[in-house]
Amino acid sequence: MLKTRITEMLGIEYPILQGALQWLSRAELVSAVSNAGGLGCISSATFPTAEELRQEIKKTKSMTDKPFAVNITLMPAIQPVNYEEYINTVIEEGVNIIETSGRSPEPYMKLLKDAKAKTLHRATRIRDIRTAERVGIDAVTIVGFEGGGHPGMEDVTSLVRVPIAVDAVKIPVIAAGGIADARGFVAALSLGAEGILMGTRFLASKECNVHPKIKEWLLQASDTDTMMIERSIKNAARVMKTDFSQKVLEMEEKGATLEELLPLITGQREKQAFEEGDINAGIIHCGQAVGLIHDIPSVKEIIDDIVNGAKLIGQRLHNIGVSG
């Protein structure tokens, strides 16, 4: 049992959250994280319709009786998305932890508050977590530059960003970006965070339903095997360094337009890469924490290792005189 405002608020055993992973954070992974004492999170971006999201929530409920969350990614999409419909579906299904990301949650706050949902917002900029606090979000996750997915345009790493975030708001802060083991967990708590959120570490877990070839790639990759693309369209993304992503970067450097880039950076290609195990089928989001990953354990092993490892680190810190 580890107690912070986050474990109390969300009703979970450990302050360890699984980041939304488009195409991958489905019932198997999400229920495994929640059953292991953390907080699993379904990524709504995986589902082209709210009805498909509803079915995944039902499936997840059949696999765990512990709390889990649904993420609503408010990202620019080629086809406009009716986010209210998605949020209403989550509420109707009785999931009362909702995370937003991508854009300000403000337009949806009334809906979320009327449903008495516990609200989380994940962002990369300090001004965005301040806004989230102002509009009534219950806790924020700040993502450093190391993170997989979209770690923002400001290039500030977690070591600096997390304590600044903790100073900037009164609501609890969860740290994300570059965390994959007990060391990162204790570091985040030391920086003032009250929980951690990990994406890349859970990508490399037994329960993550991604092609074995992608897991093989993750095992051999080092901390220098990710790269940033999509800066030119102001949607910076950290992805696996592959021939495909190098090609996207070259096109950006030559001044490619959004219309020229879209067919390459579309999520449908990433879906294909995940299903077929072809790392050059599309861009694949991945964080620098991949350099810390040397095995594909079960989610329970990942979480237990972090909790047990944290206690050993606590002991070591005590022995060297850091704590009384």
Ligand X SMILES: Cc1cc2nc3c(=O)[nH]c(=O)nc-3n(C[C@H](O)[C@H](O)[C@H](O)COP(=O)(O)O)c2cc1C
CB of 275 to ligand X, least distance (A): 13
The binder of ligand X chosen from 21, 70, 97, 175 (CB under 6 A)? 21
The binder of ligand X chosen from 15, 37, 195, 287 (CB under 6 A)? 287
H or E element that contains 311:
helix 299-319
Exposure class string for 271-286: b at 16+ Cβ within 10 A, else e: bebbeebbbebbbbbb
Q: How many residues bind ligand X (CB under 6 A)?
A: 28
Q: What 3-state DSSP class applies to 268?
A: helix
The single residue listed with the structure tokens 């708590």 is 189
- Residues forming beta bridges with residue 176, ordered by sequence position: 143, 197
Closer CB to ligand X, residue 164 or residue 256? Answer: 164
> How many C-beta atoms surround the C-beta of residue 56 within 10 A?
20
User: Does 172 sit near ligand X (CB under 6 A)?
Assistant: no
CB of 184 to ligand X, least distance (A): 9
User: Does 22 sit near ligand X (CB under 6 A)?
Assistant: yes
Stretch 210-249 residues interacting with ligand X (CB under 6 A): none
Stretch 116-145 residues interacting with ligand X (CB under 6 A): 122, 143
- Residues forming beta bridges with residue 102, ordered by sequence position: none
Exposure class string for 93-124: b at 16+ Cβ within 10 A, else e: bebbbbbbbbbbbeebbebbeebebbbbbbbb
Q: How many Å apart are CA 143 and CA 161, to the nearest integer?
A: 8
CB of 260 to ligand X, least distance (A): 23
User: Does 20 sit near ligand X (CB under 6 A)?
Assistant: yes
Closer CB to ligand X, residue 135 or residue 203? Answer: 203
Stretch 249-278 residues interacting with ligand X (CB under 6 A): none
CB of 83 to ligand X, least distance (A): 13
Closer CB to ligand X, residue 13 or residue 181? Answer: 181
User: Does 200 sit near ligand X (CB under 6 A)?
Assistant: yes
Give Cβ neighbours of residue 134 (< 8 Å, ≥ 6 apart): none
Stretch 58-77 residues interacting with ligand X (CB under 6 A): 71, 73
Question: Which residues form the interface with ligand X (CB under 6 A)?
Answer: 19-22, 43, 45, 71, 73, 101-102, 122, 143, 146-149, 176-179, 198-200, 203, 285-287, 289
